[in-house]
Structure 1
Amino acid sequence: MPAKTAMRSSLERYRAKRDFSRTDEPEGATRKGGTSDRRYLIQKHDATRLHYDFRLELDGTLKSWAVTKGPSLDPADKRLAVHVEDHPIEYGSFEGTIPEGQYGGGTVMLWDEGTWEPIGDPRTAYAKGRLTFVLHGKRLKGEWHLVRMGGRSNDKRDNWLLIKSNDEYADEKNGDRALERYSTSATSGRSMTAIAKGNKQWKSKVANTSKRLKPAKARKVVKKRPRKRPRKRPRKRPKKQQRSPSASPPRRPATRHRVLSSRSSQPWSASRRRATTGFMKSNSMVIVHFAASITAR
């Protein structure tokens, strides 16, 4: 098969799965010889299942693997990387949302980008299923391996393993350090939520240093006045109910041990009560003596 025909057929699967009238993904064209530098990139893809699309430029297209758990910096971790269809070079700049119902519908973030340097012949290594290369990315660096499981590809599923070499960029204690540290786009600085909402490119809130900055004006210090407490309003006493003239007068409570005289409505004093008691006793004695004298006769 001629080289031009082979490059054209490498994108047939990519174009057959997509409706470019409904998605913003680039249709792309195979570039003979590719770019001067071999591009490398990782796109964080929140589709049916969150994964990381690992792409290496080779022979005018982007060779692509879907890494389910993302790349690990721990050499002991062997992350599953499912080989998928080739993507056009233009796809390396795509960041946005694929509509629902389309192939791979979901949010796509450009998580890392840079170049890659193969160790040995990349075409022979790719055909044998054992690629060794060095990444020069913004977030991932150092030597890596892509190894096909079983040595040969399968028509249904082509499983590979992405493995980090034990070098100065490895991290045996925390393999997910890069995934935890970087949660925004490597180019626009947007989060997955901002990309899904369709927000424009992220801009720093820091002022442009190229322009001459004006000195800040001194703010007037205003003394705060003490807050006045609200005055308590006096409680309103209930109004006395007016008594109708036909109503009977209210009864006065009975006073205990209250003695009234016939001459005055005031109670007797103690001395007056004693005098009255003595007088009654003397009168009773006179009556008794008078009765005794009558009986003796």
Structure 2
Amino acid sequence: MDIDGGQRFVVQIHDARRMHFDFRLEVDGVLKSWAVPRGPSDNPRDKRLAVPTEDHPLEYRAFEGVIPRDAQGSGTVIVWDQGTYRPLSHDPGGAPVPFADSLERGHATFWLDGAKLHGEFTLTRFRVDDEDGTQGPEAWLLIKANDRQAVHDRPGTPDPHHARSARTGRTLHQVFAAEGPGRRTD
């Protein structure tokens, strides 16, 4: 859905079996999703591995809470960042390329206007072949462009254990304490 000239994105911190960030972009009525183990960075020197995961429904961009142990993806989730994005990809003739087509082609450039992430980013697909020459699984790199919003003098991603939600201001620990197993109900 277009709002303020862009589609929505969300970055959730997910304290699951392994702590990671979920980077999600609204595309054609779903949230295209990637698990980013070290989180997105606003430092152009940081090339972040982004592993594609299943598409999520649009409603999931607001989810913050505890997924029960017996459910897929169990763990605590906060919305670390949220906002809008604008596709920036163009064909060789300079015409805009639909964002879904850019992803299909394996290279998508976009501008984020979030609470925390700002500026131009790129997702680029690659594959690592297995030793026997068979094609390995798909992976992507998420990279910040060297624009005015880039940082150079510090790490580009916060410590997820101390990060606060862009929606509620809570930490993972606070969400778990309020909603997790054994929580107080009085």
* Same-fold call, TM cutoff 0.5: yes
CA contact (8 A) 2:127 2:135 kept: no
* 3-state SS, counterpart of residue 126 of structure 1: helix
Picking from 193, 196, 217, the partner of 2:173 is: 193
Q: Measure how far apart 1:156 and its partner are.
A: 7.3
How far 1:106 moved relative to its partner?
Answer: 0.3
Q: Is the 8 A contact 2:10 2:82 kept in 1?
A: yes
- Residue 61 (structure 1) aligned with residue 30 (structure 2): yes
- The correspondence of residues 32-181 of structure 1 with structure 2, limited to 5 A, is 35-37=1-3, 38-120=7-89, 121=97, 122-150=99-127, 157-176=137-156, 178-180=157-159
* Bigger fraction of residues in helix: 1
Q: Which amino acid is 2:86 matched to?
A: E
Contact 2:127/2:137 (<8 A) preserved: no
Amino acid at match of 2:35: A
Q: TM-score, normalised by structure 1?
A: 0.52
Q: Which has the higher contact order (CA 8 A, sep 6+)?
A: 2
The alpha-carbon deviation at position 72 of structure 1 amounts to 1.5
Instruction: Choose from 145, 163, 174 the match for 1:183.
Output: 163
The one-letter amino acid of 1:166's match is N
SS of structure 2 residue aligned to 1:69: coil
Aligned-CA RMSD value: 2.1
User: Aligned to 1:179, what secondary structure does the other structure show?
Assistant: coil
Letter in 2 for 1:193: H
Q: Which residue in 1 is equivalent to 2:182? A: none
Matched residue pairs, number? 162
Question: Structure 1, residues 153-175: CA drift from partner, whole Å, max 9, x if none?
Answer: x9973210000000111112223
Structure 1 unaligned residues grouped into runs of 5+: 1-34, 200-297
- Structure 2: gaps of 5 or more residues: 90-96, 129-133, 180-186
Higher normalized strand content (fraction of residues): 2
Q: Is the 1:50–1:68 contact (alpha carbons within 8 Å) kept by the matching residues of 2?
A: yes
Secondary structure of 1:198's aligned partner: helix
Q: Is the 8 A contact 1:82 1:160 kept in 2?
A: yes
| TM-score, normalisation: structure 2 | 0.81
1: CA distance, partners of 2:10 / 2:138:
20
Q: Aligned letter for 2:23? A: F
In our comparison, the structure showing a higher alpha carbon Rg is: 1
Secondary structure of the residue aligned to 2:167 is coil
User: Is the contact between residue 73 and residue 174 of structure 1 (CA under 8 Å) also seen in structure 2?
Assistant: no
